[in-house]
């Protein structure tokens, strides 16, 4: 007789319902891969007055203790928002000896290392592929695909809503407000879009990658986190006239043995792997010392992509529930000069060595970030890190990289 894997869900919103439906839809394939039956035993919900369309034999409850008191429970899927009560719930399930699969990026960015240590102590798996880029298997790629590499840098378009808004501004000529309203109408953005457009969503995700790759995070106060509210239609048009597109990118690298993170809008050339990433898609680029540059793209949000990642984690847990976290060490690095696109009038570039472009009021500049930002501190000019082009001020030439 085939063994049974007993499963519970915490949360039954878009993601939780997606997991429930995906398990039902893919049951035959899942059970063939697992060589076990999959039985959803219970679902924890917030509002008991709403009727849920689930099998009658499934326990639906607002009391977490009813899940904790189940006689048999192997795996818990967590699909709610925020640090609490998720942190308390997952800690209790881990202590009970249950494997945990979560998509909660804020929780993992805040308490990921603590939960990993607790899971290791109780010899259970903690999986969170869906927390970083939904259907893009970036965590399994880092854990299994390029494990022998030293990771030099990771950068990514990690928020589909911001990418959609910038793309609509660039392609359709919409203002930020118009593009945001369209994103809300299509269900890509919440009524309160703060997490998306102010960079918090991408911020949490790149912190999770920092923990995974380097085993630690920078101090949050040291991180440059900027959203897309300040990106103007004028800036987008200027960049487009120069063959550039503005993308919201989170970046992680090591400097003087410490992880350095930036979350900001960047001007990329056609040679950049993110140039043609449109709509609500996400993309990640990983630079390994052996594998070179690897780019992964795919849907970054939605019920099906997120559920897909969570169900894949179910297979991962069954394969090896005590797999250690992957860490990578890399040589020391120092602060380096960067290239930027500067958009502003002539008075705002005084004191900077700039390379004029074919567009009036648009310049290229090279320098250490802190020094360039200090010179522009009281300026209204827009400054975008420039990727995909290398500047040579001595010859006034650009080189595609």
Q: Are residues 88 and 192 in the same domain?
A: no
Q: What average pLDDT does the segment 325-335 reach?
A: 61
Residue 152 sits in the same domain as residue 254 = yes
> pLDDT tens for residues 43-102?
999 998 888 989 999 999 999 999 999 999 999 999 999 999 999 999 999 999 999 999
Q: Which candidate in 17, 105, 205, 247 is catalytic?
A: 205
Mean pLDDT (whole number) for 9-29: 95
> Is there a domain that residue 359 lies in?
yes
Q: What pLDDT is stored for residue 303 in this prediction?
A: 82
- Asked whether the predicted pLDDT for residue 126 surpasses 70, the reply is yes
One domain for residues 158 and 199: yes
Mean pLDDT of 129-142: 91
pLDDT over 80 at 327, yes or no: no
Task: Please report, for the domain that includes residue 51, its CATH number.
Answer: 3.40.50.720
**Residue 251 and residue 213 share a domain:** yes
Domain identity same for 173 and 275: yes
| 213 and 273 belong to one structural domain | yes
Instruction: Say whether both 68 and 190 belong to one domain.
Output: no
Query: For residues 243 and 270, is the Cβ–Cβ distance under 8 A?
Result: yes
Asked whether residue 275 falls in the same domain as residue 396, the answer is no
Is residue 139 in some structural domain? no
Examine the residue annotation and report whether 205 is marked as an active-site residue of this protein. yes
Query: Does any domain span residue 316?
Result: no
| The last residue of a domain, from among 250, 274, 299 | 299
Ranking 178-182, 266-270, 301-305, 381-385 by mean pLDDT, the lowest is 301-305
The reply to whether 156 and 295 lie within a common domain is yes
Q: How sure is the predictor about 251, in pLDDT bands with cuts at 50, 70 and 90?
A: very high
Least confident range of 100-109, 149-158, 386-395? 386-395
115 and 152 co-located in one domain: no
Q: Kindly indicate the confidence band of residue 1, based on its pLDDT and cuts at 50, 70 and 90.
A: confident
pLDDT of residue 336: 78
Does 326 reside within a domain? no
pLDDT per position as a tens digit, 187-209: 888 889 999 999 999 999 999 99
> By residue range, what is the domain housing residue 353?
337-400
Out of 280, 299, 318, a domain closes at 299
Q: What is the pTM of this model?
A: 0.92
Select from 250, 282, 299 the last residue of a domain. 299
The answer to whether position 242 is within a domain reads yes
pLDDT tier at 401, thresholds 50, 70, 90: very low
CATH of the domain at 244: 3.30.360.10
Q: Is residue 111 part of a domain?
A: yes
- Determine the pLDDT at residue 198: 98
Residue 140 domain flag: no
**Is residue 43 situated within a structural domain?**
yes
Q: What percent of the chain has pLDDT over 90?
A: 74
How many structural domains are present in the chain? 3
Q: Residue 270: pLDDT band by 50, 70, 90 thresholds?
A: very high
Tell me: do 115 and 160 sit in the same domain.
no
Same domain, 172 and 250: yes
């Amino acid at each position: 007789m085939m063994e049974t894997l007993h499963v519970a869900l915490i949360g039954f919103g878009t993601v939780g319902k997606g997991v429930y439906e995906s398990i039902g839809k893919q049951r035959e394939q899942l059970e063939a891969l697992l060589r076990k039956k999959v039985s959803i035993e219970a679902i924890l919900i917030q509002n008991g007055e709403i009727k849920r369309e689930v099998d009658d034999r499934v326990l639906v409850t607002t009391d977490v203790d009813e899940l904790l008191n189940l006689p048999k429970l192997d795996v818990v899927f967590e699909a709610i928002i925020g640090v609490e009560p998720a942190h308390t719930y997952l800690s209790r399930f881990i202590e009970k000896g249950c494997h945990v699969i979560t998509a909660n990026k804020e929780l993992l960015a805040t308490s990921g290392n603590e939960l990993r240590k607790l899971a290791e102590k109780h010899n259970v798996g903690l999986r969170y592929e869906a927390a970083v880029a939904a259907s893009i298997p970036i965590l399994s790629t880092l854990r299994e695909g390029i494990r022998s590499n030293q990771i030099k840098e990771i950068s990514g378009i990690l928020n589909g809503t911001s990418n959609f808004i910038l793309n609509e501004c660039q392609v359709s000529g919409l203002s930020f407000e118009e593009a945001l309203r369209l994103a809300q109408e299509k269900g890509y953005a919440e009524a309160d879009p703060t997490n998306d457009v102010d960079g918090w969503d991408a911020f949490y995700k790149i912190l999770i990658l920092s923990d995974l790759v380097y085993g630690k995070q920078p101090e949050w106060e040291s991180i440059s986190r900027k959203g897309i509210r300040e990106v103007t239609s004028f800036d987008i048009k200027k960049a487009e006239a120069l063959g550039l597109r503005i993308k919201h990118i989170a970046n992680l690298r090591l400097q003087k043995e410490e992880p350095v993170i930036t979350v900001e809008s960047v001007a990329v050339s056609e040679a950049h792997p993110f140039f043609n990433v449109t709509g609500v898609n996400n993309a990640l680029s990983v630079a390994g010392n052996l594998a070179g540059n690897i780019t992964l793209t795919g849907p970054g949000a939605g019920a099906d992509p997120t559920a897909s990642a969570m169900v894949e984690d179910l297979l991962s847990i069954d394969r090896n529930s005590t797999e250690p976290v992957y860490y990578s060490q890399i040589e020391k690095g120092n602060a380096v000069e960067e290239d930027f696109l500067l958009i502003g009038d002539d008075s705002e570039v005084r004191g900077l060595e700039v390379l004029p472009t074919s567009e009036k009021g648009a310049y290229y500049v090279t320098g250490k970030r802190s020094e360039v930002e200090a010179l522009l501190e009281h300026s209204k000019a827009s400054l975008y890190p420039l990727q995909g082009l290398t500047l040579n001020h001595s010859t006034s030439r650009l080189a595609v990289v």
